[in-house]
Amino acid sequence: MSTPALVTTPLAAAYEYCAARTRRASSNFYWGFRLLPHDRRRALCAVYAFCRSADDIADEPGAPRDAATLLARWRDELDAVYAGRPRHPIGVALADTVERFAIAREHFEAVITGTSPRTVIAWRARSA
């Protein structure tokens, strides 16, 4: 008798994408998240993947204009997440997460705003 093939749903694949992103970006967070129940671990990986992606844009060398364009794409994805039409794997997992845990959009908006070039430049100027 053959073993049935493992069926991966787009949602499961999206959560795995987020877990892999979390593992690559920060092994400490990933292993800490592993202590949580499955549904919360997946949710935190989705949130972390979103935050990490936005933060990485701010950390990349290049013109502030390029960072602003990339962050605008994440803001568009956030629109899609809250409209129930996410396109990116992080957005797919995040849409499920915000629905399950009733997470307000303003928190993700704050992440994008906090990593915008103007905010980062102003923060660095005050910190110097």
67 within some domain: yes
Q: Tell me the pLDDT of the chain averaged across its residues.
A: 85
State the SS3 of the chain: CCCCCCCCCHHHHHHHHHHHHHHHHCHHHHHHHCCCCHHHHHHHHHHHHHHHHHHHHHHCCCCHHHHHHHHHHHHHHHHHHHHCCCCCHHHHHHHHHHHHHCCCHHHHHHHHHHCCHHHHHHHHHHHC
52 within some domain: yes
How does residue 126 score in pLDDT terms, banded at 50, 70 and 90? low
- In a 13 Å sphere around the CA of 1, the CA atoms on its Cβ side amount to 2
Supply the CATH number for residue 46's domain. 1.10.600.10
What's the domain count of the chain?
Answer: 1
Answer whether residue 4 shows pLDDT above 50: no
Answer whether residue 27 shows pLDDT above 90: no
Q: What pLDDT does residue 50 have?
A: 97
pLDDT in tens, 61-103: 766 678 888 899 999 999 999 999 999 999 999 999 999 999 9
Q: What pLDDT does residue 25 have?
A: 87
Q: What domain range is 49 assigned to?
A: 10-127
Identify the residue with better confidence: 37 or 67.
37
| Rounded (10°) CA dihedral 9, 12, 16, 19 | 170
Beta carbons within 10 angstroms of residue 90's beta carbon: 26
1 within some domain: no
